[in-house]
Amino acid sequence: MQAKDLPLLAVFAAVVRHGSFTAAARALGQSKSLVSESVRQLEERCGVRLLERTTRKLRLTQVGEQVLMTATTIADAARTLDSILDEHRNAPVGTLRIATTHDLGSLLVAPVAARLALQHPQMSIDIVSDDQSQDLIASRVDLAVRLGAPKESGSIVRKLARIAEPLLAAPSLLSLLPTVSRPRELHGAPWVRHSLLPYHGSLTFSGPKGETDTVTLTQRAQSNTGEGVRALLLSGIGIGVLPEYLVVDELRRGALVRLCPGWIWKQVTLYAELPSGKRKPRRVQLFLQALQETFATPDGLGGLWHRFHHSSDY
C-alpha cells in the first residue's frame, strides 16, 4: 500500500457503508464499474480478499473488517482536516502573528489586532516588535507592518498610507534658534537622528512648491527607535524628523513644534508585507481590512490616522 492508494480505501468504505456497489457509486458520483475496479485494485494491493460477493449481498471477510476500521479512521481524519482548513479559510481562528516596529506595535498594530480578536474569540495575537526587518518565513509570521521603502524580495507588499516627516523641535530649543523660514537657515544646528536611517552629514528637505534645501547638521544625539528619538526631541537637545503619526499629540499640546511649515524631509510608505500571494488565512484578511478601515474613517483610533493621512499641511 502506498499513499496514492488511499482513495481506494475511501471507495471500499463507501461500498460497505452503503451495502452495494450501485449505491456507493451513486453516493460517490462514479460509475458502478469504476467503483468495482477500485475495490478490485485495493484487494490486489492488499493481497487478500476483503469482500465476499453474492448476487444479493456483500459480506466482509475477517481481514476486510480490520481494513474497514483503518479506512474509516482515514476518512474521519480527512473530514477533520477538511474542517480545519475550512475554518482557517473562512473564519478568523488560530494565532495572528505580526512583525512590526516598536512604535507601530504600540500605536497601530496592537490596538487594531486587539479589537479584531475581541470580535473573534477563537483568534489569538502574537506581536513581534523589532525595528530591524525580519525574514517572514523564518520568523513564521503571518505578515509584517512597517514604515519606509519596502526592500526588494519575494514578499507581497500592500501599501497602506503615505506619511510625511516634518522638521520638529521642542519650544525650549526653538527659543535658542534664530527665526527660520526654510531648512537651509538651520546650517550647523544640533541634530537628533534615528540611528537605523542612512545619514551622510547632511539632509535634503522638500518645500511646498517643489524646491529643495540641503542642510549640514551637527549630530548631538541618536536612538535606534522612533520612541527614543521622540523623547530626545522633547528634551530639547536638538531638532529632528519623525513620521507625523508619532508626534500628533505632542504637536497638539505644543510640546513639539514644526519648523519651516510646509517643508518635509520625505514621505514614507506604511505598508504590510506578506510571505506570499497565495490565499491568506481569514485572520490575515480581516486584519488587513481592519488596517485599511483605520485609515479610511475619521474616527479610526480616535481620528489619529485620519488627521495625519489627510492633513493639508503638506
Grid cell listed for 179: 527665526
Averaged confidence pLDDT in the chain? 83
Q: Are 40 and 74 within one domain?
A: yes
Q: Are 151 and 287 within one domain?
A: yes
Decide if 305 contacts 294 (C-beta within 8 A). yes
pLDDT of residue 28: 87
Q: Are 195 and 152 within one domain?
A: no
Local confidence band at 233 (pLDDT 50, 70, 90 cut-offs): very high
CATH number for the domain harbouring residue 170:
3.40.190.290
Rounded CA gap, 266 and 162, in Å?
10
| β partners of residue 117 | none
**Can you give the residue range of the structural domain that contains 167?**
163-267
Residues 6+ apart with CB under 8 A from 2: none
Residue 314 lies in a domain: no
Q: Are 62 and 85 within one domain?
A: yes
Rounded CA gap, 54 and 246, in Å?
80
User: Is residue 263 scored above 90 in pLDDT?
Assistant: yes
Rounded CA gap, 246 and 255, in Å?
13
Closest CA to 188 of 198, 177, 196: 177
Grid cell listed for 163: 506619511
The reply to whether the predicted model has a pTM over 0.75 is no
Coil/strand/helix, residue 162: strand
Number of domains in the chain: 3
| β partners of residue 265 | none
Q: Are 297 and 287 within one domain?
A: yes
**99-146 confidence digits (pLDDT tens):** 998 888 888 899 999 999 998 888 899 999 887 777 776 778 889 998
Q: Are 26 and 72 within one domain?
A: yes
pLDDT of residue 312: 35
Q: Are 39 and 103 within one domain?
A: no
Residues 6+ apart with CB under 8 A from 71: 9, 10, 12, 13
Grid cell listed for 21: 456497489
- Percent of the chain scoring above 90 in pLDDT: 29
Rounded CA gap, 152 and 83, in Å?
37
Rounded CA gap, 288 and 98, in Å?
11
Residue 28 lies in a domain: yes
Q: Are 157 and 285 within one domain?
A: yes
Local confidence band at 304 (pLDDT 50, 70, 90 cut-offs): very low
pLDDT of residue 204: 92
**61-89 confidence digits (pLDDT tens):** 888 888 888 888 877 777 776 666 655 55
pLDDT of residue 88: 54
Q: Are 246 and 175 within one domain?
A: yes
Q: 150: which DSSP letter?
A: P
Closest CA to 145 of 98, 188, 184, 179: 98
CATH number for the domain harbouring residue 290:
3.40.190.10
Q: Are 111 and 169 within one domain?
A: no
**186-216 confidence digits (pLDDT tens):** 988 999 999 887 777 788 999 999 899 998 8
- Beta-carbon neighbour count of residue 154 at 10 Å? 9
User: Is residue 306 scored above 60 in pLDDT?
Assistant: no
At which of 64, 90, 116 does a domain end?
Answer: 90
Grid cell listed for 9: 480505501
Q: Are 277 and 137 within one domain?
A: yes
Q: Are 41 and 71 within one domain?
A: yes
Residue 135 lies in a domain: yes
Which range has the top average pLDDT, 161-165, 255-259, 297-301? 255-259
Residue 175 lies in a domain: yes
**217-229 confidence digits (pLDDT tens):** 889 999 988 889 9
User: Is residue 234 scored above 90 in pLDDT?
Assistant: yes
- Beta-carbon neighbour count of residue 16 at 10 Å? 21
